[in-house]
Structure 1
Amino acid sequence: MTALTDRFARAVDYARVAHAAQVRKGTCVPYITHLLGVATLVIEAGGDEDQAIAGLLHDTLEDCGAAHEPIIRAQFGDRVADIVVACTDGTAEAKADHEDAEAKRRDWHARKHAYLAHLAGASADVLLVSACDKLHNARAIVQDLEDPGVGVAVFERFKAGQDGTLRYYESLCQTFSIHGVGPVGLLDAAVQRMHEHAGRTKRLTLEVAN
């Protein structure tokens, strides 16, 4: 059993404050629900407290800014901070540099290709937290796809649209499978459902340079 201490409680509060003004894409649901969901999946997969805390904080730099890194490192330790940094595919500041839709789309493709290449050599800590993050996101997409009020329009929320989003998740499945990451079976099942709801019979991947 994973023992959770006051550090975990402090991390929940840190995430709550850092993401206080943010909601899930296309919803009014507070963003903290995603972070709690990822931490829960990490624990269910056998992760320890550091990994669970990293699950809570994995989007802090990406959504709230790079200034959070030294604070996380000081409050929660190097291992947690290193996982958070490695799970970040672009800081809030870097994303803000791209203003028009086409520039954001190009930036998305560059970041995702780089992230997939990075995962190929990532540590077990990073792979577990990343896989749980992607699993929680994939399940949320499936839930919206199965909602008659949303359906395939859910892909309009993502910069890469339906095709790019499906290719990215398929590539993630392949990467996590190669490394034998615990939640990959659950992620693969969710991604399969994404393809089915989108009317896809063939699962394609993003091309990643070696």
Structure 2
Amino acid sequence: MSALSSRFDDALLFASELHRSQARKGSGIPYIAHLMSVSSRVLSAGGTEVQAIAGLLHDAAEDQGGQATLDVIHERFGPDVAQIVADCTDSWVEPKPAWRPRKEAYLSKLPSKPVASLLVSLADKLDNAEAILHDYREIGDELWPRFTGGREGTIWYYQELNSIFANALPSSLSRDLKRAVSLFPS
């Protein structure tokens, strides 16, 4: 694939509008930077335009309106994008359910997700892991209170993700995730 269509442009604008008021945890970095990074990683790994659009929108339902937002994504960007976004979503309600059971449920379903969804999820988790590692190097243990799971839970979650992706989608991205997770404090 050499060119992206105007659907990608529309998705980028939609994602920017949906997440305009969000910033990455504790950093002040506009959240759209994460969404663009996930989409870029998907494209660089050989993903399709559908997957790249889903990369831009992967947090839309979870963070910005649940099923109603997923319905809009389905209507505007099609069922394939909506399915990937749904597969990347671990909570459909606010307030979100308890952190550990929600993460355990997501992890238990992850290996059976379609490859198209796994690539987007892996790009997301890799971008998050590298951001965590960067911030840990900058501020040390002051980082962990940002996360509901704290230090122990966050490290556990990313170790589990690493194990699943290494088996379900062996690739340069899964190897990058393994490298990032291996650099987390023990």
The two structures have a TM-score, normalised by structure 1, of 0.85
Aligned equivalents of 1:3, 1:189: Cα separation in 2: 31
* Partner Cα distance (1:192, 1:41) in 2: 20
Query: Which consecutive unaligned segments of at least 5 residues does structure 2 have?
Result: none
The answer to whether the 8 A contact 2:118-2:169 is kept is no
Structure showing greater radius of gyration is: 1
Distance, in Å, in 1 between the alignment partners of 2:163 and 2:14 is 33
Distance in 1 between the 2:2 and 2:105 partners? 32
Return the match for 1:108 from 86, 99, 104: 99
Match of 1:102 in 2: none
- Supply the distance in 1 between the matched residues of 2:90 and 2:60 (Cα, whole angstroms): 11
Residue identity in the other structure for 2:107: L
Asked if 2 retains the 8 angstrom alpha-carbon contact of 1:2 and 1:46, the reply is no
Q: Does 1:173 align with 2:162?
A: yes
Question: How do 1:139-154 residues align onto structure 2 when only pairs under 5 Å count?
Answer: 139-147=130-138, 150-154=139-143
**Once the 2 structures are TM-superposed, how far is the Cα of residue 181 of structure 1 from its aligned partner?**
3.8
Identity of aligned residues (%): 42
Counterpart AA for 1:45: A
Compared with structure 1, are the counterparts of its residues 97 and 86 closer, same or farther at alpha carbon in structure 2 (3 Å cutoff)? closer
In the aligned structure 2, how far is the partner of 1:181 from the partner of 1:57?
24
Cα distance, 1:120 vs. partner?
1.7
Please list every run of at least 4 consecutive aligned residues from structure 1 whose deviation after the TM superposition is greater than 4 angstroms. Answer: none
Residues 97, 193 of structure 1: alpha-carbon distance in 2 compared, 3 angstrom cutoff: closer
Between the aligned partners of 1:181 and 1:39, the Cα distance in structure 2 is 19
Q: Secondary structure of 1:96's match?
A: coil
Secondary structure of residue in 1 paired with 2:100: helix
Aligned residues: 184
What's 2:95 paired with? 96
Q: Is the 8 A contact 2:119 2:169 kept in 1?
A: no
5+ residue gaps in structure 1? Answer: 99-106, 201-210
TM-score where L is the length of structure 2: 0.95
The alpha carbon displacement at 1:144 in A equals 0.6
Provide the C-alpha distance between the structure 2 equivalents of 1:18 and 1:180, rounded to a whole number of angstroms.
30
> Is 1:131–1:181's contact at 8 Å kept on the other side of the alignment?
no
| C-alpha contact 2:39 2:53 (8 A) present in aligned 1 | yes
SS in 2 for 1:172: helix
What CA deviation, in whole Å up to 9, does each residue of 1:2-35 have, x standing for no partner?
5311111100000000011111100211110100
Instruction: Supply the AA of the counterpart residue of 1:77.
Output: G
Q: Which has the higher helix share?
A: 2
